[in-house]
Amino acid sequence: MKPEPARTMAAANAPLRDHYATVRARSLQLIAGLTAEDCMVQSMSDASPLKWHLAHTSWFFETFVLAPLRGYRCFNPAYRMLFNSYYVGVGERHARPARGVLSRPDLAQVLAYRQHVDDALDTVLQGALAADATALIELGLQHEQQHQELMLTDLKHHFWCNPLHPAYRDSTGLSAPPAIGAQWLRHAGGNTEIGHAGPAFAFDNETPRHPVTLAPYELANRLVTNAEYAVFIADGGYRQPTLWLSDGWDCRQREGWQAPLYWLDAAGKRAFTLYGDQPLHPTAPVSHISYYEADAYARWAGARLPTEAEWEQAADTSSTAPDGTPSLAPQPATGEGLTQLFGTLWQWTGSAYLPYPGYRPLPGAVGEYNGKFMINQMVLRGSACSTPPGHARASYRNFFPPAARWQFSGIRLARDVG
Amino acid sequence: MKPEPARTMAAANAPLRDHYATVRARSLQLIAGLTAEDCMVQSMSDASPLKWHLAHTSWFFETFVLAPLRGYRCFNPAYRMLFNSYYVGVGERHARPARGVLSRPDLAQVLAYRQHVDDALDTVLQGALAADATALIELGLQHEQQHQELMLTDLKHHFWCNPLHPAYRDSTGLSAPPAIGAQWLRHAGGNTEIGHAGPAFAFDNETPRHPVTLAPYELANRLVTNAEYAVFIADGGYRQPTLWLSDGWDCRQREGWQAPLYWLDAAGKRAFTLYGDQPLHPTAPVSHISYYEADAYARWAGARLPTEAEWEQAADTSSTAPDGTPSLAPQPATGEGLTQLFGTLWQWTGSAYLPYPGYRPLPGAVGEYNGKFMINQMVLRGSACSTPPGHARASYRNFFPPAARWQFSGIRLARDVG
Amino acid sequence: MKPEPARTMAAANAPLRDHYATVRARSLQLIAGLTAEDCMVQSMSDASPLKWHLAHTSWFFETFVLAPLRGYRCFNPAYRMLFNSYYVGVGERHARPARGVLSRPDLAQVLAYRQHVDDALDTVLQGALAADATALIELGLQHEQQHQELMLTDLKHHFWCNPLHPAYRDSTGLSAPPAIGAQWLRHAGGNTEIGHAGPAFAFDNETPRHPVTLAPYELANRLVTNAEYAVFIADGGYRQPTLWLSDGWDCRQREGWQAPLYWLDAAGKRAFTLYGDQPLHPTAPVSHISYYEADAYARWAGARLPTEAEWEQAADTSSTAPDGTPSLAPQPATGEGLTQLFGTLWQWTGSAYLPYPGYRPLPGAVGEYNGKFMINQMVLRGSACSTPPGHARASYRNFFPPAARWQFSGIRLARDVG
Amino acid sequence: MKPEPARTMAAANAPLRDHYATVRARSLQLIAGLTAEDCMVQSMSDASPLKWHLAHTSWFFETFVLAPLRGYRCFNPAYRMLFNSYYVGVGERHARPARGVLSRPDLAQVLAYRQHVDDALDTVLQGALAADATALIELGLQHEQQHQELMLTDLKHHFWCNPLHPAYRDSTGLSAPPAIGAQWLRHAGGNTEIGHAGPAFAFDNETPRHPVTLAPYELANRLVTNAEYAVFIADGGYRQPTLWLSDGWDCRQREGWQAPLYWLDAAGKRAFTLYGDQPLHPTAPVSHISYYEADAYARWAGARLPTEAEWEQAADTSSTAPDGTPSLAPQPATGEGLTQLFGTLWQWTGSAYLPYPGYRPLPGAVGEYNGKFMINQMVLRGSACSTPPGHARASYRNFFPPAARWQFSGIRLARDVG
């Protein structure tokens, strides 16, 4: 008798079905209050229109979960190309810098597409599921959460490029608590392991768990603040090439950087936020800085950035819950020990984004998810105020090119011991 | 007693008031059937969103007619910068390539802005008007007509860049009449005059009327057809550098041109139009070609392009009414004599866009309207199927850089005599 | 009896043989005092190494005169491609921006190549010559004279890009005479003719002579001086966009222009010259300016640039001999009437470089000499201190893109009358 | 009694003095047979003229060793800027892409500059030396050896860009031995150390020695051959994006890569070498490939690139002597065990060029030597046929951006065990 592939029973899918509903609903909540026009802006090649994010996340489920199923009726065959991001294994793609020209399909049609996919997925989730289908649905939800963060990240840039500096959300009632002082926290290093293991979900780039050897090191208990960063600027941080990596200085010159991306003045008095132009809290962490700036700041401060192994070792015993009040702007640090690990800002590490020893990408076209980007990027750890709830873990590897500034990134300092 | 500036009586303004209402209403008719999203697309730096056109044409009236008036309440002070196209005399401008990021103001607000301007203008038009105000309002209407043509021109490009190739209008009932054969029509040349004179409206670049001396010449009775152009392509027209200007060949290589802009195949069977993808009529004139292509075609055909003086002399005795049925696609030629002068396609001339002898730009910031663009462009004459009714005259000087292809441009051949 | 093509007798070639010897020798005189390394510099794509000029001018004779002759032994077949400038009718070309990488052939080999060509040409010139061969040899000599001017023009740029600012020639004994004041000289305009006619040599672009009609106009009796240009700068000439053409202002912004190309300070105290860094004579004409700058200066001065027809009509009765002492730097004006027409600086006109009515390029690959560049360039008239003796005439049409500054260009003002 | 800084006695300097003489002489040997013109070519921004290398290596000694000494007479103050490569701590620099315009100083002057520096250094070496001076001289010699390799690397590119493909050296007598087959050699991994320790010279980027933990792995016993790489090409290696990193594929598309840099055909029959165009030995290692190509090849072969720690662990017990006959072209592998570690081709690793844990750059401006380049580059290990004798060690870290191909780079495969 031929063995059957492992299948969950329909009843066992209930938690996944709930998770699906919750995650998908949140994407729609994110566009509440926005116009169809707002959802179509593409302010640069790196940032996509919100409408595109809504469509592409549906495309992911359609392409990898639904399309292989017998009897699935494709919503619109043109979407296969139109909303493919970068999967060459799936076929042609609409050019990334031209995502903003897609007035058609309009937002209403994209929402209908989402509903179509949700309906089909719901039918699937009411039946028995093969293990790989379950895995792909789970991957699709994690993928959608990543795009939820990108929606906020990109929208901030889209609105920033509009001289009117529209506010995404109302800032009424926002307040910043007094912040804690900076301290060095010592870690022993030694032989340890990093990377994900176990049955819970993780992206392929977090695996396999593997041994590393670390020298003793110290990490700052909180992120670098706006006030601290303003001192760096006032001290000539953006005028002194010896503080910078060579490529970083070229970039600073070419781009004319004089302060973090969204600052409205070099003193850090005001900045653009998802709440519109706002006063900048001196004790809130400096945000939207590139690796080059983080690295230059650390050198100026007589410190360095942590490696991802150091960061993960230190974080491994911490909760992944954010410290403070939920907000779409990073908040000052409070509390004891290693604060602001999650829910505030992604933290640049000094580690290049490369495969872990023994890394294997997923089979098939989803294998393009992570592996092919493992060059010319640096790892960021933690999570940010823009990260969806439940989407953080100590082994999570985020990554951006060293010049990127539009993501919610900040600085945690490290230094050698002895 | 101090002399009063000449003023029209309110009653005398009635024709202008009608003209104002008619022209302004037509801009709104152009967006009928389009979504707010459609009106926000910017597919390249040269082309602007339709919403921007709607706002900018209102900005023109507000800035040059209304703002100087005591008591005028500005709709939104930010618009002064946001919808300024290129008038440095007025102040800062929003960057042209970033017009597509302006989800705010949304279309509804832009329409409210139009209404606000219309209301204020109507009040003005009900009073007595100084001569310069009348002239500025007339200029504003001609300006708006130019932007109406750009709305169609730009929309065609916007929709072309969407792989779905949306149709702007329904093609039902479109049909192409049989076309006439090509003939050379002889013109005597000699001492003549070109340029505008008289009280009717003309742009400053059409003046002053001045003498020119022309050798005898011949003009083709109609524009070059798609079928004729397909022969040029089949004969290696895009592969033979000796047919091209040096800059033209560089451009063809860099851009990879192999056919006119909107052709879907090199044989000219199908093309993208404002009616969506359509069969191409062999006898319809070839359209959306650059100066470089027009010049190469003419060289291949043993002919040349007419000068603007030749064109104007030949056209001076013709009606400015289009030959055929109104359509948003250029139609085949019919009739006797010099056909397709107006209402089909703009016709490249071999003349550089430079000031006429004795040219004086308008005083003040509106002096930037034409004069500062008199370099690196070639003159086109006539008018196109995209040109608003009533906006054509023999002295009209349109102009584009030699590499531009998105405008409704075609080829009329000329040759020397004897 | 079959008619023979017209042929000169060998004795009749003596003047051409002398001319050949004189012109060819002068190219070598130009590199006296330079090293082989100096002759290899290519400081930008627009400027070629002097060694390349020496080889290319020989290539011209070899390709168009010698190669078609039975029995001619090619010096090195690889040179056909290596030293072809832009003649696609001849075949492939070495990329223009990479001319500076050609260490091989070395200078000695290029000089041997010249000798080889000279020897073969001399044999040809000692026999009977068909009329077209005579014409091609004459063309080759005029071509070489153009490259002699380019050698000085390019060398100045090459040395300018070396921070040591080497001097090409010793400035001992250079002195500037006191200059004359500026005056407007009136010209009647009317029906006239421009262009070359008659048996003497002219480039195809100077023909045919043809009628033009001119309104009365005035020309400045001399070129704009350094002192006058410094006033324009001090008055904000480079900071006021309304003085500039739109493309010109973009160019000024992009390139960061604040003064003419070789000025060492914005006040015009010192400049780089072929004599090294030197004090700038206030009364000497301002040089190395683009069309954009010339046009902006003229607008600021309440004047304009002359058309090429105006310039030629005014110059038609003048001698083509330079006014002053031969020098490699433009000298102040002296004398009466229209001065500095020749031998000082090329003078921008407001005319685009386009074919004259009835223009026909030469047959064959030499037809690429001029015609294919008739777009995106403006005409300059006269000649410069860098122009070889005997290479000036009133009908001569020089041309450069409006942004070019490395050529010896200056400003003569014109204005309308009445 | 005040303690004296440690100083060597003059006699103790004899070995350093010999080393100095030997290394400096070798630079001159490298230009034997080249013209001054050859030494001035700069074919791209990344590659410098040989004359510049000769001057810059002298500048290094002058700036860091001689200039601080009382009484040293600077050869030419302008050289401080002219031949500074990238040391912003030293001051301004001549722009890198413009090194090829420096006809002055000519080669003779640069050789005189070398002599001047050698004379002054020799005087210094005959006296007592402080320890830091000794270290700087040793650094200067290692620096000069690096530039010796660059001279060959750059010259190959310079000559490649000349369509004549000149030969640098005579290939008479070159022959390739039969090559060995490919084998996997197993390494145990485990806890080990990498990095330099001890008194012998090493660059700062090789330190400090530190523990690493490695899983078991296998390395190929020799480099990938031309024949093997030709199979990859024939199998569509350059047409299949799923084999490539995303940035790599973009690069391949943009640059039009279809084979290794110097191959003359896609089948690998012939290639350009320092001996001119030559037949390519199928068994010789494939060379001049980018990281992107190495990575794609490895993926196609079901393998991966080694990490630098794996490479160094495996090499740590090997001799640094090259395997085969000295040659300026990489030779086929011979022998047992891990062959071609040194003296054949640099070998891409999968490790990013980042600081070792505890890394400290040298103090002062020489601290810019390595540290500021630690971003966007990948490490290569071993040494090449272009590397000077005596300049190889197991801990040596070479580095290039992943798109670079002009260096002598090859592929050694690795794979996981179990």
DSSP bridge pairs for C352: C378
CA distance B65 to chain A (A): 25
pLDDT at C4 over 70: no
Quote the pLDDT of residue A7: 66
Which CATH number is D302's domain given? 3.90.1580.10
Taking one residue from A and the other from D, the number of pairs with CB-CB distance under 8 angstroms is 80
CB-based contacts of A244, cutoff 8 Å, min separation 6: A252, A292, A295, A296, A299, D372
Taking chain C, what is the end-to-end CA distance rounded to the nearest angstrom?
Answer: 66
Q: Which residues of A248-261 are buried (b: 16+ CB within 10 A; e: fewer)?
A: bbebbeeeebebbb
Closest CB to D88: pick one of A213, A242, A291. Answer: A242
Residue C235, domain extent: 184-416
- Cβ-based contacts of B83 with chain A (< 8 Å): none
Provide the pLDDT confidence category of residue B320 given band limits of 50, 70 and 90: confident
Per the CB < 8 A criterion, the answer to whether A416 and A221 are in contact is: no
Q: Do B35 and A36 touch (CB under 8 A)?
A: yes
- Phi-psi category of residue D236: left, alpha or beta, with phi > 0 → left and psi -120 to 50 → alpha: left
Tens digit of pLDDT for each residue in A152-176? 999 999 999 999 999 999 988 777 6
Please determine, for residue C7, whether its predicted confidence score (pLDDT) is greater than 90.
no
D200: left (phi over 0), alpha (psi -120 to 50) or beta: beta
**D375: distance to nearest CA of chain C, Å?**
30
Task: Report chain B's mean pLDDT, rounded to a whole number.
Answer: 95
Are A161 and B98 in contact (CB < 8 Å)? yes
Per-residue pLDDT at B2 exceeds 60: no
Neighbours of chain C (3+ CB pairs under 8 A): B, D
B86 with B198, same domain?
no
Percent of chain C residues topping a pLDDT of 90: 89
Higher pLDDT, D144 or B174: D144
The tens digit of pLDDT for each residue in D167-226 reads 999 988 777 667 789 999 999 999 999 999 999 999 999 999 999 999 999 999 999 999
Mean pLDDT over B364-373 rounds to 92
Taking CB atoms and an 8 Å limit, are B215 and C358 in contact across chains? yes
Assess whether pLDDT exceeds 70 at residue A5.
no
This model of the complex carries an ipTM of 0.96
Residue D178 lies in a domain: no
Does residue A125 sit in the same domain as residue A272?
Answer: no
What is the reported pLDDT for C176? 67
C40 contacts in D (CB within 8 Å)? 37, 40-41, 103
CA dist A231 and A267 (Å) reads 8
Specify if A173 maps to a domain: no
Whether pLDDT at A389 is above 90: yes
> Could you tell me if C43 lies within 8 Å of chain D, comparing CB atoms?
yes
Contact C354 B355 (CB under 8 A): no
Give the residue-averaged pLDDT of B255-272: 97
Q: How far apart, in whole angstroms, are the C-alpha atoms of residue A34 and residue A166?
A: 11
- B touches D, CB cut-off 8 Å, minimum 3 pairs: no
Contact status, residue D330 vs residue D386, Cβ threshold 8 Å:
no
SS3 percent helix, strand, coil of chain B, rounded to 5, is 35, 15, 50
Choose among C37, C106, C107: nearest Cβ to D106: C37
First to last CA, chain A: 66
Report whether pLDDT(C9) > 90: no
Which residues of chain A neighbour D372 with C-beta distances below 8 Å?
244-246
| Average pLDDT along chain A | 95
8 A C-beta contact, residue B6 and residue A7: no
The answer to whether the Cβ–Cβ distance between A191 and D213 falls below 8 Å is yes
Question: Are residues B95 and B11 both part of a single domain?
Answer: yes
Do both A113 and A203 map to the same domain? Answer: no
Judged on CB neighbours under 10 Å (0-12, 13-18, 19+), B367 is middle
Is the same domain home to C149 and C238? no
- Kindly report the backbone phi and psi dihedral angles of residue D297, in degrees, each rounded to the nearest multiple of 5, phi listed first: -60, -45
C-alpha closest to that of A197 among A185, A182, A186, A208: A208
**Cis peptide upstream of residue D357 (ω within 30 degrees of 0):** no
Cβ of D373 within 8 Å of Cβ of A402? The answer is: no
- What is the rounded distance in angstroms from the CA atom of residue B136 to the CA atom of residue B133? 5
Pick from D33, D292, D62: which is nearest to D168 by CA? D33
Residues A21-54 pLDDT 10s = 999 999 999 999 999 999 999 999 999 999 999 9
Q: How many CA atoms lie within 13 A of A162 on its CB side?
A: 26
Region B69-81 average pLDDT:
96
In sequence order, what are the residues at sequence separation of 6 or more whose Cβ sits closer than 8 angstroms to the Cβ of residue B50? B30, B31, B34, B38, B39, B40, B41, B151, B154, B155
Size of interface B-C (CB pairs under 8 A): 80
> Got the DSSP string for D21-80?
HHHHHHHHHHTTT--TTGGG---STTS--HHHHHHHHHHHHIIIIITTSTTPPPS-TTHH
Could B416 and C357 be called an inter-chain contact, meaning their C-beta atoms sit closer than 8 Å?
yes
Q: Residue C1: what pLDDT?
A: 45
**Taking CB atoms and an 8 Å limit, are C158 and D103 in contact across chains?**
yes
Mean pLDDT value across residues C252-278: 97
pLDDT in tens, C179-229: 789 999 999 999 999 999 999 999 999 999 999 999 999 999 999 999 999
Give C270-294 pLDDT, tens digit per residue: 999 999 999 999 999 999 999 999 9
User: Predicted confidence band at D1 (pLDDT cuts at 50, 70, 90)?
Assistant: very low
Same domain, C123 and C193: no
D353 and D282 within one domain = yes
Q: Please tell me the total count of domains within chain C.
A: 2
Q: Are residues A40 and A31 in contact, defined by beta-carbon separation less than 8 angstroms?
A: no
In a domain, residue D206? The reply is yes
Do B134 and B268 lie in one domain? The reply is no
Quickly count: other Cβ atoms within 10 Å of residue A120's Cβ: 20
Q: Does D135 touch chain A (CB under 8 A)?
A: no
| More confident call, D298 vs A13 | D298
pLDDT of C28 > 80? The answer is yes
Whether B176 shows a pLDDT value over 70: the answer reads no
| Helix/strand/coil for C69 | coil
Per-residue pLDDT tens for D120-165? 999 999 998 888 999 999 999 999 999 999 999 999 999 999 999 9
The CB-side HSE value for B306 (13 A sphere, CA atoms) comes to 34
Q: Is A228 part of any domain?
A: yes
Q: State the smallest CA–CA distance between residue B367 and chain C in angstroms.
A: 10
Query: How is D358-400 classified by DSSP, letter by letter?
Result: T--PPSSGGGGTTGGG-SS-EEEES-BTTSPTT---TT--EEE
- pLDDT for B179 beyond 80: no
**pLDDT, tens only, C130-180:** 889 999 999 999 999 999 999 999 999 999 999 999 999 998 877 766 778
> Closest Cα of chain C to D166: distance in Å?
8
Q: Is the pLDDT of residue C2 over 60?
A: no
C-alpha–C-alpha distance, residues A369 and A203, integer Å: 9
Q: Over the range D353-387, which residues count as b (16 or more CB within 10 Å of their CB) and which as e?
A: bbbbbebebbeebbbbbbbbbbbbbbbbbbbbbbb
What subunits make at least 3 CB pairs under 8 angstroms with B? A, C
CA distances from D352 to A193, D292, D373, D400 (A): 20, 13, 11, 10
Q: C356: Cβ–Cβ under 8 A, 6 or more apart, which residues?
A: C195, C205, C206, C207, C208, C210
- Region B398-412: what's the mean pLDDT? 98
Q: D156 and D28 in one domain?
A: yes
Torsion-angle region of residue A190: left (phi > 0), alpha (psi -120 to 50) or beta? left
B205, B370 Cβ separation under 8 angstroms = yes
Residue B127 belongs to some domain of the structure? yes
Q: Is C98 on the interface with D (CB under 8 A)?
A: yes
pLDDT exceeds 80 at position A179: no
In chain C, count of helices (H) and strands (E)? 9, 13
d(CA A329, CA A326): 9
Q: Are A366 and A219 members of one domain?
A: yes
Mean pLDDT of B210-234: 97
Q: What is the pLDDT of residues C309-347, one digit of tens each?
A: 999 999 998 888 888 777 899 999 988 999 999 999 999
Is the same domain home to C152 and C217? no
The pLDDT confidence band at residue D327, using thresholds 50, 70 and 90, is: confident
Q: How far apart are CA C88 and CA C368, in angstroms?
A: 8
Per-residue pLDDT, B1: 45
pLDDT above 60: residue A58: yes
Q: Establish if D168 belongs to a structural domain.
A: no
Residue B13 CA, distance from chain mean position: 28
**Cα D9 to the center of its chain, rounded Å:** 33
Query: Quick check: do B and C touch, 3+ CB pairs under 8 A?
Result: yes
Test mutation, D40, D45, D165, chain C, max C CBs within 10 A: D40
Beta bridge partners, B400, equal B378
Nearest 5°: phi and psi at B379?
Answer: -85, 140
Residue B297 in any domain: the answer is yes
Contact call for C373 and B245, based on CB within 8 A: yes
Tokens of A195: 């990377």
Reported as a single tens digit per residue, the pLDDT across D336-372 is: 999 999 999 999 999 999 999 999 999 888 999 999 9
Indicate yes or no: CB of C101 within 8 angstroms of CB of D41. Answer: yes
Chains C, D in contact: 3+ Cβ pairs under 8 A? yes
In a mutagenesis test of the D interface, which of A93, A217, A243, A246 is the best target, namely the one with the most D β-carbons within 10 Å?
Answer: A246
pLDDT value of residue A8:
64
Task: Please report whether residue D224 resides in a domain.
Answer: yes
| Averaged pLDDT, C110-116 | 98
Hunting for tokens 């060959």 — which residue is that? D152
Residues 6+ apart with CB under 8 A from C390: C145
- pLDDT above 60: residue C401: yes
Residues C206 and C153 in one domain: no
With 50 as the cut, is the pLDDT of residue D268 above it? yes
pLDDT in tens, A268-278: 999 999 999 99
Give the whole-angstrom CA distance, residue D113 versus residue D116.
5
Question: Tokens 């000279």 sit at which residue?
Answer: C118
Of B212, B245, B374, nearest to C374 by CB-CB distance is: B245
Distance CA A148, CA C222 (A): 69
What are the beta bridge partners of residue C378? C352, C400
Instruction: Give the tens place of pLDDT for each residue, C46-102.
Output: 999 999 999 999 999 999 999 999 999 999 999 999 999 999 999 999 999 999 999
